[in-house]
Amino acid sequence: MTSNDEYILEILQDIGIIDADQANTARTRADADDRPLPDVLESEGFIGKADLLKTLANQFGMEVISLAGRDIPREVLDLVPADVIQRFKVVPVWETGNTLTVAMSNPLDVDTLDGLRYVLKREVEGVIAPGDEIEKAIANYYGRATGEVENMLTEITEGALALNKEQQEQIVGDSDVTEEDAPIIKLVSLIIMEAFRTRASDIHLEPLPKKFRVRYRIDGVLHEVDSPPKRLQAAIISRIKIMANMSIAEKRIPQDGRIQINVMGRDLDLRVSSIPTNHGESIVMRILDKGSIALGLPQLGFFSDDQEIFEQLIGLSDGIILVTGPTGSGKTTTLYACLNTINKPDRKIITVEDPVEYQLSGINQVQVRSDIGMTFSAALRAILRQAPNIIMIGEIRDLETAEIAVNASLTGHLVFSTLHTNDAPGAVTRLIDMGVKPFLVASSTRAIMAQRLVRKVCEKCKEPYTPTESELRLLGPAAQQLSQTQLYHGAGCADCSFTGYRGRIGIFEIFLINDEVRNLIFDQVPATVLRQKARELGMRTLREDGIRKVVAGQTTLSEVLRVTMGDSE
């Protein structure tokens, strides 16, 4: 028995509902049978659960309410994010001034109220409601994924699928099985639904020695969520591989697949990757929302001066424009925004991608398939005979692809592509290291843009703040720009899940190739010399562009430092 149970027995004795002998009987039965005290009290006929709840609430001066049939306004429900609801098992019922009242099932649980006050940064009071009504309200108001994922985990853990590993894999691999027959199928769907609801870009399912960890990448940062039991690892992975048309029999080599699914009325593509690890197969699902890619240049985060420069670049008739940055820095999204901007009936646009992430209306998109010889270079040679005006290459990975892209740009085509380099001038060195002749790089390249993604300050909880000394020290001389500027950060609210950030924008470094730079490329100078010349010609670095967005209140100093820490100035 817990200390709370002893306290309950003391209260019941003090008010005369039970005597000492009955208290000892309840204590003995609860310990012997390992049952909750309220169940024992009810089974012994001492006091029913509902009466016990009212009695305890009266002792603490708390109101008892019923949630059944109660219509809680959506603006009240939105005051507490779903993950906080799931953690504390409460339901917000009304708001009075700055005080939020929540329904809870345990009058003795003062830690819940203290925790909510800390997380929500406001005064919180409690009323009492039956536990089953709270569970139903959570499921009804906060969606299936919040209420049902945990219920599904409990159902499976307690034996709804009391099957061994081989039996589980057989069920999830059976195309005729229904959701009623296999709760794991429903669980996988709920994991995907919750990821979409929280705006996640990736779902990571990672086998660890003693747990099966599930994490969502939201605005570029990983967040761990409630994880299924370790024993369901094989079944869940098999279900995902079946959905992605991957082989469940092959577990020794990496595999790739794709899932097409409709979630909350939105068509999603999930790009699935599996790789064997020491403790099982690790799965990553990249969520591609077809409805979110219709972007233009303003939505990427350009300031007006950079946007004007970039619009002039993408309006050229020939040459290569490169976008560089690490994986996940938004390069593909930028290229798609460029194509959306210049997609006109008088222009033929063809892309070569691996894979084709989004379907773009009016644009011919070619999928690379190396297994049948349809490589980047093979596809490029073929599409040049299609007489396109504009070509987009998903990534320049080798010399052959680079040479074809260069030749295409020199014969009157505008070519867009990406490279994995940390900064813009480094792309020149990368192409030369691949084997492209320096004079070809200089002649064909019009501009190179490096980019990163930073999280945006949540507009609903935006407030002024003063940067720390360590932040300013890391910033170096650039800190002088911020000395007389009011900076902002997010205090944390329900809309941003108390992170202070919601959404992301780009920070950019645009390196224009003019005659001076071409002469330096001819001479094969190091990237540091190119970078110095670019700075002299007015190129802003990633960090400098980020600081402009900090001054504008769009992001925070710590966020810019986080994504540019490894960049040279």
CA separation for the pair 253, 250 (Å, rounded)? 7
User: Does residue 284 carry a pLDDT above 90?
Assistant: yes
Measured in Å, how far apart are the chain's first and last C-alpha atoms?
Answer: 62
For residue 423, give the nearest of 546, 323, 337 by alpha carbon. 323
For residue 319, give the nearest of 420, 434, 439, 442 by alpha carbon. 442
3-state secondary structure 262-277: EECCEEEEEEEEEEEE
| Contact partners, residue 369, CB within 8 Å, separation at least 6 | none
Q: Where are the alpha helices (DSSP H) in 411-524?
A: 426-434, 438-444, 469-475, 515-522
- Percent of the chain whose pLDDT exceeds 90: 28
Q: What is the pLDDT of residue 406?
A: 93
User: Does residue 145 carry a pLDDT above 50?
Assistant: no
Enclosing H/E stretch for 211:
none
Q: What is the pLDDT of residue 431?
A: 94
Residue type, position 285, single letter? M
CA separation for the pair 450, 420 (Å, rounded)? 9
**9 close to 3: Cβ distance less than 8 angstroms:** no
322-347 exposure pattern, b = at least 16 Cβ within 10 A, e = fewer: bbbbeeebbbbbbbbbbbbbbeeeee
Mean pLDDT, residues 7-33 taken together: 77
| Full strand arrangement of the beta sheet holding 200-207 | 221-225, 212-218, 200-207, 280-289, 266-277, 255-263
Complete DSSP assignment for 526-537:
-HHHHHHHHHHT
CA separation for the pair 412, 318 (Å, rounded)? 5
117 burial (CB, 10 Å; 0-12 / 13-18 / 19+) is middle
Other Cβ atoms closer than 10 A to 229: 12
Tell me the sheet residues that pair with 324.
419, 450
Query: How would you classify the pairing of strands 390-393 and 349-353?
Result: parallel
The chain-wide mean pLDDT, for the chain, equals 82
Q: Output the six-digit token pair for 209.
A: 């020695």
CA separation for the pair 314, 341 (Å, rounded)? 9
**Three-state secondary structure call for residue 324:** strand
**134 close to 67: Cβ distance less than 8 angstroms:** yes
| Contact partners, residue 158, CB within 8 Å, separation at least 6 | none
CA separation for the pair 230, 240 (Å, rounded)? 16
214-223 exposure pattern, b = at least 16 Cβ within 10 A, e = fewer: bbbbbbbeee
Q: Output the six-digit token pair for 175.
A: 């195309």
Q: What is the pLDDT of residue 567?
A: 59
Give the pTM: 0.66
**268 close to 302: Cβ distance less than 8 angstroms:** no
Q: What is the pLDDT of residue 167?
A: 44
How does residue 153 score in pLDDT terms, banded at 50, 70 and 90? Answer: low
Per-residue pLDDT of 493-506, as tens digits, reads: 777 877 888 889 99
User: How many helices and strands (H and E) does the chain possess?
Assistant: 24, 18
Q: What is the pLDDT of residue 43?
A: 74
Q: What is the pLDDT of residue 34?
A: 67
Judged by average pLDDT, the poorest of 116-125, 177-186, 306-315, 422-431 is 177-186
**288 close to 260: Cβ distance less than 8 angstroms:** no
Per-residue pLDDT of 336-368, as tens digits, reads: 889 888 888 889 999 998 878 777 788 898 988
Residue type, position 284, single letter? V
Per-residue pLDDT of 530-548, as tens digits, reads: 999 999 999 999 999 998 9
**Three-state secondary structure call for residue 452:** strand
- Omega of the bond prior to 355 within 30 degrees of 0, cis? yes
User: Does residue 195 carry a pLDDT above 70?
Assistant: yes
Q: Output the six-digit token pair for 327.
A: 């994986």
CA separation for the pair 124, 120 (Å, rounded)? 9
CA separation for the pair 557, 489 (Å, rounded)? 9
Tell me the sheet residues that pair with 509.
450
CA separation for the pair 455, 474 (Å, rounded)? 19
Per-residue pLDDT of 38-50, as tens digits, reads: 777 777 778 877 7
Query: How would you classify the pairing of strands 221-225 and 319-324?
Result: unpaired
Residue type, position 307, single letter? Q
User: Does residue 313 carry a pLDDT above 70?
Assistant: yes
